[in-house]
Structure formats: C-alpha cells, structure tokens
Amino acid sequence: MVRRCFQLRYWARIRLREWNPEHETLERRLVTSGEFLDVMAWGTAQTARVILDEGLLVDRAFDRGGISSG
C-alpha cells in the first residue's frame, strides 16, 4: 500500500495592516523571499523550493503587467 499526502499551499500578494496581537497568535514575522527557505520549518522540503520558485515567477509576471489582479 502506498500512502500519499496531499497538501495545499498558497502564494499571495498582501498588504499588511497594523499588528495587534489577539487570541492565540502572539506574533508575526515578515521575511523576504531570500529568507523564506531558511525560516520555514518545512523549508528543506522540495515543496518549499517549488512554491518559492513558482511564486517568484508569478510575481515577476505580475510586475510586468502580464497578470491582472482580478
């Protein structure tokens, strides 16, 4: 029997509001794309590299006007 694990990850452009810690989330950490793999707990996973590379490609296309924001 082969076990498979399916997970969904997202890449998003966001604008952050002022930080007001509430509930169980006590902090947030902003990182650059260069820090992403080192900071993420699963950054050594092949999936992390794929998400980063593909997200940066989409970002560059967006910056050039090749992708609309919806």
Q: How confident is the model over 18-30, as pLDDT tens digits?
A: 888 888 878 888 8
DSSP letters spanning 2-59: --------------PPPP--BTTB-------TTTHHHHSTTTTSHHHHHHHHHHHHHH
In the numeric block, which tokens belong to residue 26? 């006590």
Q: pTM of this prediction?
A: 0.61
Residue 38, pLDDT score: 92
What are the residue boundaries of the structural domains of the chain, listed by start?
29-70
Residues of the chain with pLDDT under 50: none
Residue 35, pLDDT score: 92
Residue 70, pLDDT score: 59
Rg of the chain over Cα atoms, rounded to whole angstroms, equals 15
